[in-house]
Every structure is written in structure tokens, then in C-alpha cells.
């Protein structure tokens, strides 16, 4: 997450400052190499969740290790208080900021996840949250598991990019514009754009199982990470309350379909999600009280989307279970 939530009328998402790519040929100075890099995430963050899902579906767990930050930040940035002694066991750092400053000691911007860190040097490589999933799908192909799906198929990239752009603008970012709006006009404009876009996506998904083509792509991952947080956080906390997700039948079924797909729902930690948003955003929720609801058990109910056809993994196969250290405790 990277955002400016200061007292301004308009919410502005901070752009990624470090946009280096890790490439198969090493042309940008960072070659794909198994075991060299560490993916830093918060399970609360939708942008980090995108990277986690792509990593799981493609079977990159052994190629790029995972560090999970505490969902509760402090003024020093994302912290590794979930690990023994409060240090990441691989990088040896207490705060993600340390990797940012190792890369650029003069850096004064936000400290965001997902972040990929070069283990030998301890330096941040990239925090380019929008493009990490597609980069995993293309540049890391030599390290994909056998049977990995094609999440960014070349013939469909223009369409994937087009729909991903409007999802980012109106949905992924739109919920934040609603939540952090300082004027009624700003809020109402973002609210209207959000639900207009969700209605259009619902219409599209009433006719096809996935957003583009007949299998899961990075576009579906982009939409899912907002939908899965919608009722737990965005509906109440960010005032995105025209409807709950559970009251939008097509999108609710679509989201359940993806949640029940191996490699997607097993990356979602509702406890981390709720604690982060409700505790950290004291300007929105001064009490820091985390609501007990909503009932989340409906995520495992039948969705019926198989009737639309499509194959979740295309010509590929499902990923195996997550590594033991990455499994999320039962949530209901």
C-alpha cells in the first residue's frame, strides 16, 4: 500500500518510486534467479495480495521467498513483529524501510508493499505494485511450476490491460477515494464511479466466467482483491455502501468462484485485513475498534459459475497446497 491520506480534499495514491523490473535477460540489472529475491507483503494489502496470488498460481514459492509483515504499521513503516525477535529471518531487518534506505539513503517517500528485495545486498529492487503479477507471469517463466497457467496471454494483453486500467481507476483505487474523501463532492463522485463500474463488470460477468478469455488472468486477480475486502472493510469503513458484495449476485458468485480456486482464497487473511484497516486508519475510525462482523462463512458456499464454462487454469493445472509456513489459520 502506498497512499497520501493527509488532510486534503482529494485522495492521491502515491506512484511507485522504484519501478525496476526483474527480467529473464537481466537487461535492467536484476536477472531472474531462484532464491535471490524476497517478496515482502502484508496480507492486509490488496496490492500485495495480487503478487501473492500470482506467485501461488505460477508455483514460484521456491523461487522467491515470502516475508509477511505485521498488519499493524507504526510510524517506522511495515514491521516484522510476526517473526522471532521482530526481525525478518532472511534479511535480518526489523522494518521494511531499512531495505528502502539501503537502496536510496536519501529516499523520503512512502514505504509500501508489495516490495521485492535483493537478498545479497538487502536493497529494495521494486515496489511497482501494478506490474509485479504480469512480470511474474512473463519474465519468471523459466521458474514456473509444471502446469502453471498463463496469467497474461499475449493475444489478450491489450484487452487485459484495458480492463485492468478501469478496474484500477474506478474500483481498486475508487474505494480508497471514497474512504479518504474530505469533501462530499469528492466522495459522491468516487462512489458513483465505483458502483457504475461494478454494475458494468457484473453485466460482463453475467455472460462469461472470467473477465478476459476463458481462464483466470491478471485482470481477475486485480478485481478479486478488492471484492474479497468489500464487505469486511470497504462497505462500512470506506462508506462504499450502496450494496454489499453479497447483495450483488453476479459479482458475489464470481468472487466465491475465485476464492474457492486453489492458489487464490488460500492467500486471504480476513483477520489481518480487518485489523489493518480498522486499527491503522485512526482518522476514519478513531476508536480503533475492529468489528466482529460480517459473517464470512458464505465464501465457501456453492457459486454455480461452472455453468458458464471456462477453465480456471486454461491448459494448466491447479497449484498444490501452500507451503506449511504460509498457511493461514482457519478463519471460521
The string of DSSP letters for 221-264 reads HHHHHHHHHIIIIIHHHT---S--GGGSHHHHHHHHHHHTSTTT
Q: Which triple of cell numbers denotes residue 136? A: 511474474
Same domain (yes/no): 127, 177: no
Same domain (yes/no): 175, 282: yes
What would the pLDDT profile of 130-141 be if each residue is shown by its tens digit? Answer: 999 999 999 999
pLDDT confidence of residue 125: 98
Separation of alpha carbons 72 and 42, rounded Å: 9
CATH (domain of 17): 3.40.30.10
Per the model's pLDDT, the better-predicted residue between 197 and 12 turns out to be 197
Evaluate the CA torsion angle 330, 43, 56, 65 in order and state its sign. Answer: negative
Query: At 42, is the pLDDT very low, low, confident or very high (cuts 50, 70, 90)?
Result: very high
Separation of alpha carbons 141 and 148, rounded Å: 9
Please tell me the total count of domains within the chain. 2
Same domain (yes/no): 231, 250: yes
What would the pLDDT profile of 234-288 be if each residue is shown by its tens digit? Answer: 999 999 999 999 999 999 999 999 999 999 999 999 999 999 999 999 999 999 9
Q: Which triple of cell numbers denotes residue 306? A: 461452472
Q: For residue 3, list its beta bridge partners.
A: 13
In the predicted model, what is the mean pLDDT of residues 195-224?
A: 98
Residue tagged active-site, from 37, 45, 152, 254: 45
CB 111 within 8 Å of CB 97: yes
What would the pLDDT profile of 107-151 be if each residue is shown by its tens digit? Answer: 999 999 999 999 999 999 999 999 999 999 999 999 999 999 999
Residue tagged active-site, from 129, 152, 176, 254: 176
Please indicate, yes or no, if residue 148 is contained in any of the structural domains: no
Helix axes 157-166, 218-229, angle to 10 degrees: 20
Q: At 62, give phi and psi (nearest 5°).
A: -85, -15
Per-residue pLDDT for 212 more than 70? yes
CATH (domain of 227): 1.20.1050.10
In the predicted model, what is the mean pLDDT of residues 288-316?
A: 97
Where does a domain end: 96, 122, 143? 143
In the predicted model, what is the mean pLDDT of residues 42-61?
A: 98
Please indicate, yes or no, if residue 149 is contained in any of the structural domains: no
Please indicate, yes or no, if residue 94 is contained in any of the structural domains: yes
- The string of DSSP codes covering 251-311 is HHHHHHHHHTSTTTGGG--HHHHHHHHHHH-TTT-TT-PPP-----GGGGS---GGGG---
Is 78 among the annotated ligand-binding positions? Answer: yes
Same domain (yes/no): 210, 83: no
In the predicted model, what is the mean pLDDT of residues 223-233?
A: 98
CB 282 within 8 Å of CB 288: yes
Range of the domain at 106: 3-143
- Give the pTM: 0.95
Q: What is the CA radius of gyration of the chain?
A: 19
Contacting residues for 12 by C-beta, under 8 A, at least 6 apart: 3, 4
For this structure, is 45 an active site residue? yes
Where does a domain end: 122, 143, 164? 143
Amino acid at each position: 500500500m502506498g497512499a497520501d491520506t493527509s488532510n486534503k480534499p482529494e485522495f492521491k495514491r502515491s506512484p511507485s518510486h522504484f519501478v525496476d523490473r526483474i527480467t529473464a535477460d537481466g537487461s535492467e540489472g536484476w536477472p531472474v534467479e531462484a532464491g535471490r529475491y524476497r517478496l515482502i507483503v502484508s496480507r492486509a494489502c490488496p496490492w500485495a495480495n495480487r503478487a501473492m496470488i500470482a506467485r501461488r498460481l505460477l508455483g514460484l514459492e521456491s523461487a522467491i521467498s515470502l516475508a509477511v509483515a505485521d498488519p499493524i504499521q507504526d510510524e517506522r513503516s511495515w514491521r516484522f513483529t510476526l517473526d522471532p525477535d521482530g526481525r525478518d529471518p532472511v534479511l535480518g531487518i526489523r522494518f521494511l524501510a531499512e531495505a528502502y534506505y539501503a537502496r536510496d539513503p536519501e529516499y523520503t517517500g512512502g514505504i509500501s508493499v508489495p516490495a521485492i528485495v535483493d537478498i545479497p545486498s538487502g536493497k529494495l529492487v521494486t515496489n511497482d505494485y501494478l506490474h509485479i503479477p504480469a512480470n511474474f507471469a512473463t519474465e519468471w517463466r523459466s521458474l514456473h511450476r509444471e502446469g502453471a497457467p498463463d496469467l497474461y496471454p499475449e493475444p489478450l494483453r491489450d484487452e487485459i490491460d484495458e480492463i485492468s486500467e478501469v478496474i484500477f481507476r474506478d474500483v481498486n483505487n475508487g474505494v480508497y477515494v471514497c474512504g479518504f474523501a474530505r469533501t462530499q463532492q469528492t466522495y459522491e463522485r468516487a462512489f458513483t464511479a465505483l458502483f457504475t463500474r461494478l454494475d458494468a463488470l457484473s453485466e460482463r460477468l453475467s455472460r462469461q466466467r472470467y473477465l478476459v478469455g476463458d481462464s483466470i488472468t491478471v485482470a481477475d486477480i486485480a478485481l478479486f482483491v478488492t471484492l474479497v475486502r468489500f464487505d469486511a472493510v470497504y462497505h462500512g469503513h470506506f462508506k462504499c455502501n450502496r450494496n454489499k458484495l453479497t447483495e450483488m449476485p453476479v459479482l458475489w458468485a464470481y468472487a466465491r468462484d475465485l476464492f474457492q480456486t486453489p492458489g487464490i482464497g488460500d492467500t486471504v487473511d480476513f483477520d489481518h485485513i480487518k485489523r489493518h484497516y480498522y486499527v491503522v486508519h485512526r482518522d476514519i475510525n478513531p476508536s480503533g475498534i475492529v468489528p466482529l462482523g460480517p459473517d464470512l462463512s458464505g465464501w465457501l458456499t456453492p457459486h454455480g459459475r461452472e455453468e458458464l464454462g471456462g477453465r480456471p487454469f486454461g491448459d494448466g493445472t491447479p497449484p498444490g497446497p501452500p507451503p506449511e509456513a504460509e498457511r493461514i489459520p482457519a478463519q471460521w
